[in-house]
A and B are shown apart, each in its own frame.
Chain A
């Protein structure tokens, strides 16, 4: 298993540009989420999904959209990038029914480092 993969690893945007951060997992996990981490701070939840076709907002959803058309993919869209969205973005997945992992163990991707100028 590749686990949770994220692309791109690095991205620089200009203010006002839009882009999509990709996240995929091959563990058949129902639950996927997006966090952002600002320097010296903990992770904050942006959006999450409990299954294909179902998404909901987290703690800091403004400026971001998500969709979940398949179990495997959970892209995060920045509609109009702002310097305040400069951050490291992590995607995570977990399963309530995973045979090996504790149901609350979350698997994180390697992150996307985004800079908005």
Chain B
């Protein structure tokens, strides 16, 4: 799996958009970009994933650069409940066996400020 690099921490004002960057310069053509988050003391939660195109769901938007070497997770209107550690993970399309594990790095601690 491609290695990812994320800033260790970010702050965002409540109600504003939170933009969380992720670098994955060694990503392969068949690897997806996944985002999970972990709110304090809870299990990780899936947010969104993408391959090439930008994606949007009810939680967030994912913007992937044309060369796929980086991406940005956007929380359009951050709330205090979005304070969490956000993990960017790059995975092959259909892994099997132990490759199905998610490799969590350090992630980005997002703090939404009132």
Within 8 A of A (CB), among B14-69: 32, 34, 41-46, 49
CB distance from A81 to the nearest CB of B (A): 22
Given contacts A50-B97, A58-B101, A103-B94, contact A43 B44 (CB under 8 A): yes
For B103, list chain A residues within 8 Å (CB).
42
Q: Hey, which chain B residues are within 8 Å of A43, CB to CB?
A: 44, 102, 104
Q: What residues make up the interface of B, taking CB atoms closer than 8 Å to A?
A: 32, 34, 41-46, 49, 87, 91, 94-98, 100-107
**Interface residue count on the A side (C-beta < 8 Å):** 30
Q: Is the interface of B mostly helix, strand, loop or mixed?
A: loop
A92 within 8 A of B: yes
Residues on B with C-beta less than 8 A from A59 are 101
A106 proximal to B (CB < 8 A): yes
Stretch of A12-20, A67-75, A107-115 with 4 or more beta carbons under 8 angstroms from chain B: A107-115
Chain A residues engaging chain B, CB cutoff 8 angstroms? 4, 31, 33, 35, 41-43, 45, 48, 50, 56-59, 88, 90, 92, 94, 96, 101-111
A104/B91 in contact, CB under 8 A: yes
Tell me whether B49 and A104 are in contact (CB under 8 A): yes
Is B98 touching A48 in the complex (CB atoms < 8 A)?
Answer: yes
A42 touches B104 (CB 8 A): yes
Instruction: Tell whether A42 pairs with B105 under 8 Å between CB atoms, given A108-B45, A111-B41.
Output: yes
Q: Which of B87, B95, B98, B102 contacts A56 (CB 8 A)?
A: B98
- CB–CB B42/A110 < 8 A: yes
Q: Is the pair A104, B95 in contact by a Cβ cutoff of 8 Å?
A: yes
Q: How far is the CA of A96 from the CA of B44 in the complex (A)?
A: 19
Q: Beyond A43-B104, A104-B49, is A58–B43 a contact (Cβ under 8 Å)?
A: no
Given A57-B98, A104-B100, 6 more A-B residue pairs with CB atoms under 8 Å apart are A4-B43, A42-B105, A59-B101, A96-B94, A107-B46, A108-B44
